Structure 1
């Protein structure tokens, strides 16, 4: 290697070294400037670590024949036997069907309705009426599912239920229908109840996104002769796209993790084949029967499928709409 080449290589190495030092110094300088923000976020990092990551140690139970009276090192390891039993149980597939059915219905209607409601509410000019409707719509969010289930059950009752009385008085039906005793109605009842309870609350974030839209766009569209419907379609809805995309991706990630409160409170033995979801299946065939390892295997299945759905949805939206949450 000649002298010129050596000098060039030496200078290049010095530049790389200086750049690295500069980058490192820039990070510590930024850390020093924003040290109070880091200190403020530290409790939340600790909270997430303790309650979200430390419990993952319990997943080891899914690979054991767990006995509460024994220590961790005395447990019998069974490998994937719990998962084999899970995928061989017909009740698991029944619970998975119900979970996916109610999840997709909730995703479609429970996601679209708040968006439409937010857009329509934004078009209301009277501020008093607008605030009144918004307040009334999100109040059910603060009502527990125990109370909501009681209201829904009473409203659909054959003995003085307002729904049956209204249908009979309008001559739509000849006699009251036992809505809560027929499995074919259960998915729709759960979805409608969830929409009524959460629609107003979910609308708040969409209204916040609408307020961030530049008002000059509406003024320019009115000058060009655009009506209110065209403004909603070409300005309001595109202005909400980022918020809608992020919330949609997060909702898809929770398709198989819908909880069990609604199904547990609204269900009964007559509609068990339609009300049992994965979380209820884990509760019944895991905890109640002291099969802790089996219940843990169900929870792992839920988590893994949720992660796969989240990354898949995020990847699809990232390629198609250039929007993502990661």
Structure 2
């Protein structure tokens, strides 16, 4: 998915704290962002924000739907570029057609992972299919570490099998959880999973104490380590825990996305759809996109590519780390 904001802000991200992590669970609330156009589908963005810019290498989280595409027009994101990151597409309902400049043509379906590596540069389009009535899911980005940020473009698809929990189930699409390990390659240690909880269930998950974790609530009345989380909120747990307990207080099932990884120690500059390490890297990526080089072409999309927004007048400079 593209960041279609017409005035995207520069975000400099890095390790979010020095020294011992703060105690307790931090609750992050989303902001509402349109994907563009007068009948735009809107998304709820929980990463990045001032309170927290990264969870592990996870640097961007858009949560959308359930959206009736007959009213909103659905998702229609023209070809657009990415550098220095991987995109993770995960759906709860509906279907999205993906095309990229690697030549990949695939559909994103519920319970199936599509992971695209931008590296030095890739472009892709995303369009909800004609058969989709309700579109509901999440689009996530992962920052590539410096040594791999210019890696070759790539596309991976994986269908994780459900893993039984005592009071729910998990689908592990990245990393390892509940005895299941995803085969999908990432460039830093990561955890990504969909978790469902039965009504009234209380589930304790064994987790890596070197990871920080985020729980993005889709549905349900959820407690994370006894901290209430509403739908669309993201609960952050700092490193140091060997287990995390989830409870569903609702009369219906609850569903969450679990994101985790060791704290990402590098500072990154994120502007529009680019991740770099400096103002000059971002400027060069924008210039290459606008002149039609570096990112390749998306075949089969009926329409023009998405133009890049104008850069701000001032040089892109670090804002400093979140403390």
TM over 0.5: no
TM-score, length basis structure 1: 0.23
TM-score, length basis structure 2: 0.23
Higher fraction of strand: 2
Flag the structure with larger Rg: 1
Higher fraction of helix: 1
